[in-house]
Amino acid sequence: MKKLLLCGSLLFAGAAFSQVLSEDFEGATPALPTGWTSSAATAGGEFYTGDAGDANAAAYWPVIGGTTFAMANDDVCNCDMTNAILTTPSMDLSGVSGAVLIYDFVDDMSYGPSLPHDVELSTDGGASWTNVYSHNTDNQGNLSWATNTVSLGAEADGASDVQVRWIYNDNGTWATGLAIDNVVVKEPAQNDAELTGITIDRYVLANSNTTLTAEVTNVGANAITMLEIDWNDGTNHAESVSVNIAPGASASVAHPTIVNYAAAVEKNISVTINTVNGAVDGDPSNNSGSALHNTLSQQTSKAVVIEEGTGTWCGWCPRGAVAMDYMIETYPTNFIGVAVHNGDPMTVQEYDGNMNLSGYPSANVDRAILGASVSQGFFEQYYNERVALGVPANVSVTASGSGANVTIDASASFYTPVASANFRLAVVITEDGVTGTGSGYNQANYYSGGGQGNMGGYESLPDPVPAADMVYDHVGRALLGGFNGQPGSVPGSITDGQVASYSFNYSVPSSSDRNNMHAVVMLINSTTGEIVNASQISIAEEASVLDLNTVDFNVYPNPASDAVNVSFEAIGETSVSIMDLQGRILATQFASSANGTQVITFATEGFAKGTYVVSVKANGLTSNTNVVIK
């Protein structure tokens, strides 16, 4: 049954404050913790306690990595979560003043209306209730944990029979919900800052200036006007920073000392809040954290992979096909798209089953943004957000073999050390030009007739579009190494300059056309499940042994100031372009009928400081690298 989920995680303990209640819900499955109660207007809509596996079995919100969620639509249950209520045990606040409720929650959905959850207070054993907090979602599907700090108000001061309850009302709407965790009721210290996160770029070019930002929440009674924050990589960098953080509010606090390393290194940087308002923090147990930071010996180029969930039965899914074609045409160098089919003849069960999508069309972007909305505008937004991210390695691929037999040689060239690497290489086989004759190849089309606006020509086609008129591109056909990548394909410890390689074998089915197929090589972070980087190549027999990253060229100086030189070995016509990180071409030069070593120079006066892409194309091959203009 679809219920509301309470997930468990660790809480800080032993703090120097008056803590009345602390519940992390660990070990509470299947019953609620002692003294807690839950009810709903309709049986089956109550709060559900359990771990990620239990939540998935209940068809709601399986936890991925502890912080991100993928919704799972339960079409069987259709539970009525009208006035779903979760209530704490009675608490004695005698001698406690200014008590606050702190809890983690997720309630932001990408489907249905924006629905609130409320927090109410009773000081008379549940006979009467007062609203102390109401939260409205922004309905953008940002499924990640947030922390609330809610004042229980003067009514709770000194009361001996206090209860708190959460109320959620879905109004009968599917694909909505609420997760709650880590509930604390306490009398806050006067000066108490909690370090809730650390923001620093994970991968940057060596000798780059990087700002470290501490995410701070004021969980004390006083406004915070001054913090002393230290980041430590073996050397202390303690600095005092003026801030203005009201009780219960949060802020991003940039550390004044810049992070910069001249060589390729990996650093585990510890961050600690030393003092608050010039005094010792009232609860030092929540003042520390750490983050990994790597510098690169040379610049890398990132590809963005969007795996779009689609199906011929899905009338809104033509929107995804149109968006995918736009992205491939507009960003041919750094965008890779895969259409992952569901419930139709093109479905690959292992692929579809691991996507964990709740609605169609929707997409996973680098497997970092999950259940993302689908449209040309959204795809471009996701691409721009991720294409400029630093990555630890470039990925390359070659294909060889004749007939149905294909050998795909994948490699990842690392430009930074990684002490505890958990990477894997994987290959997705895609096919363009897929057609079929059965009714399963008819494409449902809600854009027919134009009532939903223009959609790449689908507005002029019937609903459904007959199979005879449909051609499907970017179709995911096979997973080599599995959805999560090939175990052992990348060593567990990486040094700067190391190349990890693995060979995959694939037999092209007789029903497929090898000349229309590509191999997409992915470097996957097995800890987070994210696609770190990727590359693709045609596996057409006449294109075998061609590598999208094999044009031999060199860019210098890098970083550059006034000019960028590109030297290469040319045979025939070669084009060299400089693009921004969004794939827009800023300048192109050609070497027609050139042979041997060539040098092309681009004047960079007038270019804004930043990172650009140099792209060299020759004989059907394309190679890219990044250059920094300072």
Q: What is d(CA 40, CA 50) in angstroms, rounded to the nearest whole number?
A: 18
CA distance 320 to 256: 44
Judge whether 384 and 523 are in contact, CB under 8 Å.
Answer: no
Q: Indicate yes or no: pTM above 0.85.
A: no
Which pLDDT value is given to residue 5? 36
Q: Residue 255 has which token pair?
A: 């550390």
pLDDT of residue 12: 35
Amino acid in the structure at residue 388: A
Q: What is the pLDDT of residues 373-411, one digit of tens each?
A: 999 999 999 999 999 899 999 998 889 999 999 999 999
- Say whether pLDDT at 143 is over 60: no
Judge if the upstream peptide bond of residue 33 is cis by omega within 30 degrees of 0: no
Q: Which residue has the higher pLDDT, 134 or 177?
A: 134
Instruction: Tell me how crowded residue 107 is: count the other CB atoms within 10 A of its CB.
Output: 20
The answer, yes or no, to whether the previous bond of 30 is cis (omega within 30 of 0) is yes
pLDDT score, position 69 = 32
What pLDDT score does 343 carry?
Answer: 96
pLDDT number for residue 586:
81
Q: Provide the token pair at 55.
A: 């939540």
Question: Which pLDDT band, with edges at 50, 70 and 90, does 9 fall under?
Answer: very low
Tell me the average pLDDT across 475-502: 96
Note the pLDDT tens digit of each residue in 403-444. Answer: 999 999 999 999 999 999 999 999 999 999 999 999 999 999
Assess whether pLDDT exceeds 70 at residue 108.
Answer: no
Give the three-state DSSP class for 31. Answer: coil
Q: Is the pLDDT of residue 620 over 80?
A: no
State both tokens at 216: 């701070």
CA distance 282 to 259: 29
Mean pLDDT of all residues in 493-501: 94
Which pLDDT band holds residue 522 (cuts at 50, 70, 90)?
very high
Band of pLDDT at residue 529, cut at 50, 70 and 90? very high
Sorted by sequence, the CB contacts under 8 Å of residue 572 that are 6+ apart come out as: 593, 594, 595, 618, 619
Contact 5, 48 (CB under 8 A): yes
112: Cβ contacts below 8 Å, ≥ 6 apart: 139, 170, 173, 174, 175, 176
pLDDT for residue 333: 80
Beta bridge partners of 576: 589, 616
Least confident range of 155-164, 177-186, 277-286, 311-320: 177-186
pLDDT for the residue 40 = 75
Please count the residues of the chain: 630
Nearest to 355 by CA among 479, 444, 470, 471: 479
> Which of 251-265, 558-572, 582-596 reaches the highest mean pLDDT?
251-265
Q: Is 99 helix (H, G, I), strand (E, B) or coil?
A: coil
Of 3-7, 33-37, 70-74, least confident by mean pLDDT is 70-74
What residue type is assigned to position 497 of the chain? G
The DSSP code sequence of 262-279 is: SS--EEEEEEEEEEETTE
| Mean predicted confidence (pLDDT) in 146-154 | 87
* Residue 234 neighbours by CB under 8 Å, 6+ apart: none
Percentage of the chain exceeding pLDDT 90: 56
